[in-house]
Structure 1
């Protein structure tokens, strides 16, 4: 796969049973890839270990701008690995982590990364388990982040307290143009 990837700019591997082992091979191939800009790994059975391998690739990769991990069970630990990579990654502009079982701890790690990252413009965290604590951390990050333009927190567990904290953060944030909070049911 390594040689094949060297000519592609977009790769959609969604709905394939990639899992953590193949994610490791994919991560190894991405480390030195100079052409791929879009990678869709939706519905690929990747968990925290696979996210860790992809995160290691993000630390070195200088071309990937969009990563879609929608509907994979990476959880808070996978989010932590990706967050560490985001702190120093200078090319990723869109990250889709919808339906990945991320809760407040994962949101905390990602919020911390947003305070340092200077390229990520779109972050989709919809359909996860983020509550008021996670919203609080993301609200803090929005006060410092100057690149995020779209944040989707739809269908999480954010109640009035978390929504208010996010609204208050928008007073100081001049770059966020889209914030989605629809269907916040307490689960």
Structure 2
């Protein structure tokens, strides 16, 4: 009489599992029967699996449920990459339910999964209870300002998350205000990425207020927004007294020379910022002059990105003396600035006289 699956020796099932990849196992066999759940929960390969990447696999709500069921009892997985799938809000809910229970997962990427405010709320609720996750990526969804509010509420109480990536989510100024308010009391988030979120000078002001209070944030990415010169002034005001931020990306924000002047003024007082990206901001020669004045006095900046700013020959001339005598810069980017032949000669002179630059391009 043939054996049924539920009575097969466990060794036979192990042999079958040895010839399947993790995705097939997780996706296809979960909840087939209670005994199989028990076997896969104790299977030796599952006891060591730490990294699972299932990018671009058309995983939908049902697949998310299978994964969530496994995640709820898994004690080894530390990284789960699910971007470019079709989870949606319900799929996010399944993953969030598992997060509320799981105590080992540290990195979760749900990038490009059609998650809207409802899905963000599920994830936020899980963050309020989860004590293990330290990196969360929600880029290229559509959580909007309502979703940002849910996440901000979670950040107010969460004590483990250190990195939050929210690129291209349409959170706008209102969403930034929610996030900024949560940063005032949060003591663990060190990296915040808000690239391409329709943030203007108003949102920059909210972030400035947060930076003035924050005791944790070390890296802030605001590139591809539209904060302009006024927004740059707000950020600069915070930089004067901020003691934690070491990396700031304001590229593609239209800050122009006035915004560069505000940032430059802050650099003369700031003693912690080491990496600054002002690429694609149309600062021109005048903006370069303001930054040159700051470089003479600043003693901490090691990386300065100024590509695509149309600083021209005069801008390089403005920067030259400051860079030659600066003793902290190790990397500077001047690409695509129309400096022409004479400007190239000046750059060559800088390279021959500066004693700390290791990369000048």
- The corresponding residue for 2:247 is 150
User: Is the Cα–Cα contact under 8 Å of residues 156 and 185 in structure 1 kept in the other structure?
Assistant: no
Q: 2:145 matched to 1:51?
A: no
Which of 110, 114, 122 aligns to 1:17? It is: 114
Instruction: Determine which structure has the larger helix proportion and give its number.
Output: 2
Deviation at 1:2, TM superposition (A): 3.9
Which structure is higher in RCO with an 8 Å CA cutoff and minimum separation 6? 1
How many residues are aligned here?
186
Q: Any residues of structure 2 matched to 1:62-141 within 5 Å, and which?
A: 62-141=159-238
Which protein is bigger by CA-based radius of gyration? 2
Instruction: State how far apart, in whole Å, the 1-side matches of 2:147 and 2:179 are.
Output: 10
Instruction: State how far apart, in whole Å, the 1-side matches of 2:281 and 2:117 are.
Output: 31
| Runs of 4 or more consecutive aligned structure 1 residues displaced over 4 Å after TM superposition | none
- The corresponding residue for 2:280 is 183
Question: RMSD value over aligned CA atoms?
Answer: 1.1
User: Is the Cα–Cα contact under 8 Å of residues 257 and 282 in structure 2 kept in the other structure?
Assistant: no
Deviation at 1:3, TM superposition (A): 4.5
SS of the residue corresponding to residue 132 of structure 2 reads coil
Structure 1 unaligned blocks of 5 or more: none
TM-score, L = length of structure 1: 0.97
- The corresponding residue for 2:158 is 61
1:130-168 CA-to-partner distances (Å, cap 9, x unmatched) read 111111110000011100000000001101111111011
Deviation at 1:102, TM superposition (A): 0.5
Gap change, CA 1:3 and 1:48, over 3 Å in 2: closer
Deviation at 1:185, TM superposition (A): 4.8
- The corresponding residue for 2:98 is 4
Deviation at 1:32, TM superposition (A): 1.8
TM-score, L = length of structure 2: 0.51
Instruction: State how far apart, in whole Å, the 1-side matches of 2:180 and 2:253 are.
Output: 19
1:71-115 CA-to-partner distances (Å, cap 9, x unmatched) read 110000000000000000000000000011111000000010000
Q: 2:133 matched to 1:33?
A: no
